[in-house]
Amino acid sequence: MSIIANTVNYLDGDTLLEGYFAYDDAITGQRPLVIIHHAWAGRDEFAMQKARQIAGLGYLGFAADMYGQGLTGSGPEENAKLMQPFIQDRAKLQQRQQAALAAAKLLPWADSNRAAAIGFCFGGLCALDFARSGADLRGVVAFHGLFTPPANIPHPKIKAKVLVLHGHADPMATPEQLLALQTELTQAGADWQTHVYGHTLHAFTNPAANDRNFGTVYQADADRRSWQAMANFLSEIFNSP
C-alpha cells in the first residue's frame, strides 16, 4: 500500500475551493469515488485523515471544502459562523456539493459511475442533503449527523442508498428527530438503514471530542463499529450491479 495525497483547486461560481484527495498508488486504474464532508470546523486534518483511510480501503477519497480555500475555524464560535450560512441556505450547500462532485469526477483515478458520499456532524447533514438532492450517487453515510430537512426540497425522491450512524444520547439529533428522518427517508422511497449506538453522544468518531457539557464525546467502540459498518456498506453498493 502506498497512499498518495494532494490538494486540488476547484470552483463554485466565483468561490475558490480547495479539495484534498488520496488514493492507493499500488492499485492500478480507476476506483470508486468517496466524497468526504467535513464537520463544522472546516476541511481540517480530521477530514483529510478520513480521505487517507478511505484510500486505504481501495477507493479514491476526496475531502470536499465547503467554506473555501481550505478555511478552518479556530473554535466553536468561529465554526458556527462558518457553518451557519449553509444551514440557512440549503440550496447554496447543495450547489457547493455538486461542485465538489464534478471536480472529483475529473480526477484520473475516479470511476465516475461509482460514487458515494460520507460526512461527519455538519458533514452528515451534507451527506443526507446530497441524497435528498437526487445527486448521482450510489450511497451516502452520515456519522453523527444533523437531521433537519431542507426547506427547498420538501418532497425528495432519493435514489442513493442511505446509512445513518448515530449516537442514541446525541443532544444535537434527538430520538424524535431520528424517527422523523426515518419517516422522511421512507416517504422518499430510499433504501435506508440506521445503526444506533447506546450511551453515545455527538462527535463519537473524533478523538479530540471531550466536552460532555456540550454533548461531544469520543466513543472508541462506536467509532470502530461505525467505520466497519461504513466499509461494509461501501463494499455492497460499489460491487452491486
Q: How far apart are CA 82 and CA 80, in angstroms?
A: 5
Tell me the pLDDT tens digit for each residue of 61-92. 999 999 999 999 999 999 999 999 999 999 99
Q: How far apart are CA 26 and CA 155, in angstroms?
A: 43
CB atoms under 10 Å from CB of 170, counted, come to 26
What mean pLDDT comes out for the span 109-132? 98
CB atoms under 10 Å from CB of 174, counted, come to 13
Give the C-alpha distances (Å, rounded to integers) separating 98 from 42, 65, 113, 204. 17, 12, 15, 28
Tell me the pLDDT tens digit for each residue of 28-58. 999 999 999 999 999 999 999 999 999 999 9
What mean pLDDT comes out for the span 157-164? 98
Confidence of residue 241 (pLDDT cuts 50, 70, 90): confident
Q: What DSSP state is assigned to residue 42?
A: B
- Flag whether pLDDT at 26 surpasses 80: yes
Domains and CATH numbers, the chain: 3-239 (3.40.50.1820)
Confidence of residue 201 (pLDDT cuts 50, 70, 90): very high
